Amino acid sequence: MKRIISHMPIWIKICSCVFVFITLVALLADVLVPYDPDATSLLERNIPPLFMGGTFAHIFGTDELGRDIFSRILSGTRISLGMTLFGIVIGGSVGVLLGLSAGYMGGIWDRIVMALIDFQQSIPFTLIIMLGVVIFGRGIPVLMCFIGMAKWEYYAKFIRSMVLGIKEKQFIEAAKSYHASDLRIIFKYIFPNVMPSLIVAVALTFPSVLMLESSLTFIGIGVQPPTATLGQMVGSGRNYLVVSPWLSLAPAAIIVTLSYCVQQVGEWMRDEMDIRLLKD
């Protein structure tokens, strides 16, 4: 780890620190929020942020209902990050397991997995989520599960392509000659060899999953008010862009910063490891 950090360019170190800082602040949101994120105060509506002539009482200003934007950003960042990371864990777990098994076993199971991947890629994912929302509701756990379905086919296809090359290596043949079980070969010999590439793939897909969560909420099929998420804040503030642009710009800036920082780190890791990832 020390060697990796020492080889990081200064800009990548800055991006890493920014992401870690925002994540830690989001985790400590309950302690750091100066106000209740959902508390309204109609006498303090649309107060501008500090850099636009506001006060220190509301450094990011207030919205149309008098709710403190800074408090809502802290709370919303935690929910948005949590949904994104949980979705990546779900999609990554499903995709990795299917990719490992399909690449190693081949045959009919490989063809079934590839058919599922093609089916997933042929249907607009927003349509799947809209159908799921109609059936299961708009709760955060439901959205987490559907967001997790967003990239499983990417992980499965990517891992499968790596396994097809690794399973022909001599150390795999040696393990088979010693009568090692298939599970042992997959998880002890193959999976550690795809782990570095998987980490890079997760870093590079993080922005798209975060944007998916934000866009779903923006168009009204994500987390519903008064619960704050970054996408929900951007969506609810779009009607006030002329008179109160900070309502959308402040949460949008957090989305862009998180996506950019993780994307930069992921691209640096890809170049350092000379990993060729599949195109979406």
- Identify whether 37 is part of a domain: yes
**Helix or strand (DSSP H, E) at 240:** none
- Identify whether 125 is part of a domain: yes
Count structural domains, the chain.
1
**Helix or strand (DSSP H, E) at 276:** none
Q: Taken in order 233, 81, 258, 151, is the CA torsion positive or negative? A: negative
Question: pLDDT value at position 280?
Answer: 47
Query: Which domain CATH number covers 68?
Result: 1.10.3720.10
**Contact criterion met (CB below 8 Å) for 129 and 216:** yes
- Identify whether 280 is part of a domain: no
Residue 62: strand pairing partners: 68
- Identify whether 279 is part of a domain: no
- Identify whether 174 is part of a domain: yes
Question: pLDDT value at position 236?
Answer: 80
User: Cis (ω within 30 of 0) for the bond into 9?
Assistant: no
What's the alpha-carbon Rg for the chain, to the nearest Å? Answer: 22
Domain range for 149: 2-273
Question: pLDDT value at position 24?
Answer: 92
Query: Whose CA is closest to 76, among 193, 239, 210, 208?
Result: 210
Q: Encode 12-70 in three state secondary structure.
A: HHHHHHHHHHHHHHHHCHHHHCCCCCCCCCHHHCCCCCHHHCCCHHHCCCECCCCCEHH
- Residues of the chain short of pLDDT 70, as ranges, are 1-6, 222, 273-280
- Token couple for 174: 């040696």
- Identify whether 264 is part of a domain: yes
Question: pLDDT value at position 114?
Answer: 92
Query: Whose CA is closest to 26, among 210, 149, 198?
Result: 210
